[in-house]
Amino acid sequence: MRLSQSLAKPLRERPADADSVNAAYLIQGGFIDQLGAGIYNLLPLGWRVYRKVENIIREEMDALGAQELSLAALHPPAPWKASGRWDDPEVREVMYQFTDQHGKEYGLGFTHEEIVAQVAKPHIRSYRDLPLAAYQIQVKFRNEPRAKSGMMRGREFMMKDLYSFHATQDDLDRYYERVKGAYLKVYERLGLDAWVVEASGGVFSKYSHEFQVFCEAGEDTVYYTEDRKFAQNEEIFEGKEGDKHNGAVVRSAKAAEIGNIFKLGTKFTEAAGVSFLDEQGGRQAPVMASYGIGPSRCVGVIVETHHDGKGIIWPDAVAPFAVHLVALGGDNTVKGAAEKLYAGLQSAGVEVLYDDRDESAGVKFNDADLIGIPNRVTVSKKTLEKDSVELKRRSEDQAELVELKKVPARLSA
RNA sequence: CGGGGCGUGGCGCAGCCUGGUAGCGCGCAUCGUUCGGGACGAUGAGGUCGUGGGUUCAAAUCCCGCCGCCCCGACCA
């Protein structure tokens, strides 16, 4: 993409009322744009990052054997009334519920247990139909009492929600552990150091596991031991900091939740009337579990944990582009060489953001630092004299000269 | 929902206390000079001062209501 033609160019000044690091850099860099409190548009750069995150999640869910689908976001109340959640005060606080101009009630989905159970119902007849796992990556709505911190807590956000149905609790337990492993793989690929933390089950069940990334912008407090054998959300932790747990000292840290998995029992399958015949011909309700990851929040947490004073430092796997190509000066030979490199890299399959603007070196370098693409390639008169370009990693201070003809090979690795 | 802050060209802000021609920086347009870490000069375009009402000869400025955004708290599948 040519930066000169980009819909959203980086801003000179940091937005005044974006206090959190992720909001400040994402808005200034032209990744996102605020529409209202807790409501953001993903601009082309941000959408690219988001899609990378989404695809990593998708790959790991597919590897689990889960099937991707897309459930409706606009819900009639019936399935929610059947489970008793439509009128649950805790649910009412966060679920957008409204009546249309004909007096008909609707809700906007903030989770899909009821809906997926209803979808699965006619397809689950026998224990032979189980286990079954389906997921979607979709927009969710939550009427947060207080949206805040940019992409960390929005009223409209993206969520990957996976649901599994099992004939036995044992089978569910095994699958639950597999999902846990898949989640850790996702986070590792995203460049996030996620902890598995025990937590309360909220409105779903008694206990659950959360995936937490330690960072100051997080809203949770986690008590943990450094050997990682123990980690609990403060909402269920009953000891205090400094206590010993299996010989290790318990510490605490602020953390951001980027995933949560729940064992749900038969609450939702029974409510939806889902049942199957077991090997003895007995009728049973399948046990169910749900597993969520917030890809849009992950984008925010990645920024919170991958930045410096100049801007974002994207991990390679989620960077909007692999290469930020900078052409310096108005010299025609420089422009020509940059254009050629741009075309050459693209045909080698390298994603390139080409800063072809008529801006000074300072502006271009500062914007490159802000946007945070992992590899910066600078073409100038100086480098061309040596038939080379300058290559610099965003995460490193030192730059190196690389011969022009070796550039595509260096960057398509 | 309680507390605090804020709302003025695209962005960042001053002006408000003490009412009287709407300003600055950046950006934008045109021309020229520049060209490796936020260049320079010249000319120019661009504003319902969040919104509704009130006070007044006169309101960005004073008073009341409403809307919106940010932060702290409560809350946080």
pLDDT tens, A155-176?
A: 999 999 999 999 999 999 999 9
- Mean local confidence (pLDDT), A346-368: 96
Q: How far is the CA of A314 from the C1' of B24 (A)?
A: 36
ipTM: 0.95
Question: CA at A372, C1' at B24: how many angstroms apart?
Answer: 32
Question: Mean pLDDT, to the nearest integer, of A149-158?
Answer: 94
Asked whether residue A109, judged by its CB, lies under 7 Å from any atom of the DNA or RNA strand B, the reply is no
Backbone phi, then psi, for A157, in 5-degree steps?
Answer: -155, 170
Q: Percentage of chain A surpassing pLDDT 90?
A: 93
- Which nt sits closest to A18, CA to C1'? B70
Instruction: Tell whether the model's pLDDT for residue A413 goes beyond 70.
Output: no
- Give per-residue pLDDT as tens, A96-128: 999 999 999 999 999 999 999 999 999 999 999
Residues 330-369 of A with CB under 7 A from strand B: 330, 358, 360-363, 365-369
The Cβ-side half-sphere exposure at A14, using a 13 Å CA radius, reads 15
Report the distance from CA of residue A28 to the C1' of nucleotide B15 in Å, as an integer: 27
Give pLDDT, residue A173: 95
Mean pLDDT of A254-268: 95
Q: Is the CB of A404 under 7 A from strand B?
A: no
User: Which pLDDT does position A204 carry in this prediction?
Assistant: 58
Model confidence over A21-50: pLDDT tens digits?
A: 999 999 999 999 999 999 999 999 999 999
Q: Which of A61-65, A182-186, A200-204 has the lowest mean pLDDT?
A: A200-204
* Rounded CA–C1' distance between A18 and B65, in angstroms: 29
Nearest to A186 by CA among A298, A71, A28, A297: A298
pLDDT (mean) for A284-293: 97
**CA-CA distance, A326 to A394, in Å (whole number)?**
13
Residue A357, CA: closest nucleotide via C1'?
B35
**Is residue A139's beta carbon less than 7 angstroms from any atom in nucleic acid strand B?**
no
Q: Which residues contact A95 (CB under 8 A, 6 or more apart)?
A: A107, A108, A110, A141, A142, A143
Q: Which nucleotide is nearest, taking the CA of residue A202 and each C1'?
A: B77
pLDDT of A202: 61
Helix, strand or coil for residue A232?
Answer: strand
pLDDT of residue A342: 97
Q: How confident is the model at residue A330 (pLDDT cuts 50, 70, 90)?
A: confident
Percentage above 70 pLDDT, chain A: 99
Whole-angstrom CA distances from A220 to A22, A167, A199, A243, A356 are 17, 35, 11, 19, 43
What's residue A320's pLDDT? 98
Q: Quick one: pLDDT at residue A19?
A: 78
Tokens 């898949």: give the residue: A182
The integer distance in angstroms from the CA atom of A103 to the C1' atom of B66 is 27
Tokens for A90, please give them. Answer: 């805790």
pLDDT given at position A412: 83
Per-residue confidence band for A203, with pLDDT thresholds at 50, 70 and 90? low
Q: What is the distance between the alpha carbons of residues A303 and A211, in angstroms, rounded to a whole number?
A: 17
Which residue has its C-alpha nearest to nucleotide B6's C1'? A17
Does the structure show a pLDDT above 60 at A388? yes
Averaged pLDDT score across all residues of chain A: 95
For residues A197-201, give the mean pLDDT: 89
3-class SS letters over A74-106: EECCHHHHHHCCCCCHHHHHHCCEEECCCCCEE
β-partners of residue A139 are A158
User: CB of A310 under 7 A from strand B?
Assistant: yes
